[in-house]
Structure 1
Amino acid sequence: MCPDDDSLLTAMAIEERSSPYSPSGGTAQDHDDDPDASRLRALVDLAKDGDAEAFGQLYDHYVQGIFRFVYYRVGSRQLAEDLTSETFARGLRSIQRFNWQGKDFGAWLTTIARNLVADHFKSSRSRLEVITDVIPENRTTVPSPEEDVLALISNVLLYEAVNQLPKEQRDCVLIRFIQGLSIAQTAAALGRSEGAVKQLQLRAIRGLAKIVTEDIR
């Protein structure tokens, strides 16, 4: 599910890029110009009216991005799957309270996921978990054992580097480049201005570059 390190670092070098999740938000004009955005908005409105099939389509659209975000925070596939499922369960229970004014549905789901991750780490039963599996990827070929080992090393290195960043920088990187949300959506999820998100992103990228460089020496 998650991008490999090369694709992530390439994406992080670009200030603005298109995202499969970005059509879910934006202005009314954006929705008028983007058929996919209009479809997502219609699905949310149907889901708010109790249409289970519509919510299922929203789940299909957003689940991969939410899973990516959670996985990079907790480092465990099983826990990430559980928290992702709970994110959508809570979203379904509270979707009637969602409104479009100043909000984005993808960012709204991300906020729920962030809160669940925070609750997990605050729990007295919580403990930091060691990564024992490779970050999931969509592959078209069967990887060799050597490729698996190299992927594990690089993914663990990236995971550890991201989690050394200050909290807001870390979440900014995960939302922008692991989950794939836009600057505007990231701003909505973090409760910050777009300008502040751009500054967070810049500081995070510089911080990651320093951490990774030091770790591979």
Structure 2
Amino acid sequence: MSMPIAVAAGPAPATLGLLGARPATSDAETTGGTTESPVPADGVVAENWELVRAAQRGDSAAFATLYDRHVEGVYRYVLLRLGDRHLAEDVTSETFLRALRRITSISYQGRDVGAWFTTIARNLVLDHVKSSRFRLEVVTDEVAEGGVSRGAAPGPEQQVISRSTSDELLRCVADLGDDQRECIILRFIQGYSVSETAAIMQRNEGAVKALQHRAVRRLATLLPHGLR
């Protein structure tokens, strides 16, 4: 997969004109200004936010590093939501172009920057779903390897997920309702925490936990008997 984007030194390069006129920024895509914020405890998360601050100062190499670190996760999320490789590539590219344009608007609020990229991708997916009719197709070969990407905490629900093969799981996930499917993708395939998933889905943590529980119970009924 190759989805190069032009990364310029400033926050608004000429290539961003490819985006055309876009709707107003979602509140979930902006997290305040660039004022000082608490330092993340996790080393990788802290490093990612150092790259964000460097990008906000106009360091194009820093944004390119963020792109390299997060492009696969964003692409996998979009592919699972839309089921079309070419469309997923287009949406992923647009996600990072939009992120580059809005990089100065964000600051650390307890989550990794990957959750911000995914929020942008989610809004673009929702724009597409609202503006066109499409059939979700199960695409397994590009998302099967690696399983959970960020190591969601083990538990009874995770065991239901891990007992299935990637192909079987993805086929069953495609049969879930939109909200349940997205919750499973974010929690167990992307590996986001409950709080990160809640922020991306714009729900409270209790609602996400309930949605996750219902989704996993539904998956358990869809999986072959030998894998339940």
- The answer to whether the 8 A contact 2:45-2:113 is kept is no
- State the 1:57 CA deviation: 1.0
Matches within 5 A, 1:60-75: 60-75=68-83
Alignment of 1:112-123 (within 5 A): 112-123=120-131
What does 1:1-217 align with in structure 2 at a 5 Å threshold?
A: 28=38, 31=40, 33-101=41-109, 104-124=112-132, 126-128=133-135, 130-131=137-138, 134-137=141-144, 155=167, 157-213=168-224
Contact 1:108/1:189 (<8 A) preserved = yes
- The answer (yes or no) to whether the contact 1:77–1:133 under 8 Å persists in 2 is no
Paired residues of 2:138 and 2:174 also in contact (CA < 8 A): no
| Cα distance, 1:56 vs structure 2 | 1.0
| CA positional deviation for 1:136 | 4.4
Indicate how the Cα distance of structure 1 residues 37 and 131 shifts in structure 2: closer, same or farther if over 3 A, else same.
Answer: closer
Shift, 1:93, TM fit: 1.1
Deviations for 1:126-185, whole angstroms, at most 9, x for unmatched residues?
A: 42254577334559xxxxxxxxxxxxx962x53342233232221111111222222221
- Give the aligned residue type for 1:57: T
Q: Which runs of 5+ in 2 are unaligned?
A: 2-36, 147-164
Per-residue CA deviations over 1:33-92 (Å, capped at 9, x if unaligned) read 432222111011111222111111111111121111111111122221221111111111
Alignment RMSD, CA only?
Answer: 2.8
Tell me if the contact between 1:91 and 1:109 (Cα under 8 Å) persists in the aligned partners.
yes
Unaligned runs of 5+ in 1: 2-26, 140-152
Give the structure with the higher percent helix.
1
Task: Kindly tell me the number of residue pairs found equivalent between the two proteins.
Answer: 173
Shifted more, 70-79 versus 95-104: the winner is 95-104
Task: Check 1:130–1:200 CA distance in 2 against 1; reply closer, same or farther (3 A cut).
Answer: closer
Read off the aligned partner of 2:119 and give its amino acid letter: T
Indicate how the Cα distance of structure 1 residues 55 and 154 shifts in structure 2: closer, same or farther if over 3 A, else same: closer
> What is the CA–CA distance in structure 2 between the aligned matches of 1:133 and 1:203, rounded to whole Å?
23
SS of the residue 1:99 aligns to: coil
Give percent identity, aligned residues only: 46
Equivalents in 1 of 2:137, 2:46: separation in Å?
41
Higher RCO (CA < 8 A, seq sep 6+)? 1
Q: Does the CA-based 8 Å contact 1:104-1:188 persist in structure 2?
A: no
For 1:73 and 1:35, the matched residues in 2 are separated by 30
Single out whichever of 67-76 and 126-135 deviates more from structure 2: 126-135
Q: 1:48 to 1:191 in 2, by over 3 A?
A: same
**Deviations along 1:162-215, whole A, 9 cap, x unmatched?**
23323222111111122222222112111222232222211111111112348x
